[in-house]
Structures are given as structure tokens and as C-alpha cells.
Structure 1
Amino acid sequence: MKPRINIITIGVDDLERAFAFYRALFDLSDQQIGAGDEHVAFFLDADLSFVLFGRDQIANTTGAATATGGTPQFILSHTASTKHDVDAILERVLVAGGTITTHAEQSEWGYSAYFSDTEGNLWEVLAPTATH
């Protein structure tokens, strides 16, 4: 198998609330969003989809125990182009109902901050330090 990630699915407690958050955060046309009774899919590009799925439905579908809130096992990361872009994304997070968990600061890796969506899933937004 050649490793490739085409779909990222996260568990949510409140599908409508999570959909409203990501709808406000992502700049996508209606044609890039699909929904069913138990999920919402954001088609980010031809090869990558981001899906919201009820935690109970994930457990039922996969045969796993019911998941708990948030995603402490991993962090979803978004690479921004500039510090200004990082700050603009953080503003959108707040407007959409998310929470900034660490404020943006410069480190050896770049200018970054962490936030959580309305369901407790953690994200990093980072403008990498330029290398020459």
C-alpha cells in the first residue's frame, strides 16, 4: 500500500453546531459541501475530504467504544502563508464559536497558535519560518 490520506473524519457531539462552525471557518462553495442524516463532508480538493460524523455513529460503524470529546490523540494542522493569515484565521475561529487555546507566538518552527472547534477537536495554525 502506498500511504495516502484522502479523508479525515472527526467525531462530534452536535453535528449542526460543528457544521455551523466549519461552514463559518472554511471558505467553500455550497458545491463543495455534502450532507447526510449523520454526517457532513467538506470536499477540500479533488483528493481530500474533511468529514464530521457523530461520535456515537463512529462507534456504531467501527465497533469501537463510544469516543469522548476532543481529539487529544492528534492535532489537525493548517499551514498558513503569513503571520497575518494566522491572525485572520484565529479571528474567524472566534467568530465561528471556537476557542483559542494558545495565542499566536513566534517559535523556531514559525508563527503558530492552537484552537479548538466547538466539539473540542484541536487544531494548529502555523506560518512556517522562512528558510533560505
Structure 2
Amino acid sequence: MKPKINIITIGVDELERAFVFYRALFDIEDDKIGAGEDHVAFFFDEDFSFVLFPREQIAQTAGKPEALEGTPGFVLSHQAENADEVDAILERVLIGGGSIIAAGTETEWGYSAYFEDTEGNVWELMASPAAN
């Protein structure tokens, strides 16, 4: 894997409060902001986004029952070329001593997986859906 961080997702306790703060900090146009019930994304260019996500949901993503001390407060995301590359990276994770939180799965957003490094930091691997 040639690491390229495409998305940084941070856990927040109050989504609206965090949104107001980061919107003012980033001074970004409305058309560069995407929001859903459980997240806000700031799109800086075609290759990098910064996402706010409830801390409790970050805990679930990390395979933890709740956001206790030691639960990661962020997720690093790497955009792979395709599903095969995602799976190949997961193999290297295991060889290196990391653990797989969620194996590669096809979703509406593409193919994604989550792993934890040897220090408990969470990564998401994703590949865009194949073109039909």
C-alpha cells in the first residue's frame, strides 16, 4: 500500500457544535459541504475530505461496544484502486500484526474494509464501485 490519506474522519460529541466550529475554521463554500443525519463532510478537492462523525459511531466502526477511554477518536481512510487491492492490503495487515475489524464488503458506496494497526488506530480501506 502506498499510503495516501483520502479522508480523515474524527469523532465528535456534538455534531452541530463541531460543524459550526469547523465551518468557521475552514471558511469553505456551501457547495463543498455534504451532510447527513450522522455526519458532515468537507470536500477540499477530489482527493481529500474531512468528516465529522459521532464518537459513539466511531467506536462501533472500531469494533468497540462504546466510546470508552482508549477508543480511537478518528479513522484514516485510504482509497484503493479496486476490491482486489483492498483484500491484498488486508493480507499485509495480518502479516504485520494488525487485526481486521471488518473484512471487505460490497456496499452501495463501493467495496470497503476496516482494520486496526498494532496500536489500536483504525483505518478504512475503500474502492469505488466498479463501472457498469
Relative to the length of structure 2, the TM-score reads 0.49
Relative to the length of structure 1, the TM-score reads 0.49
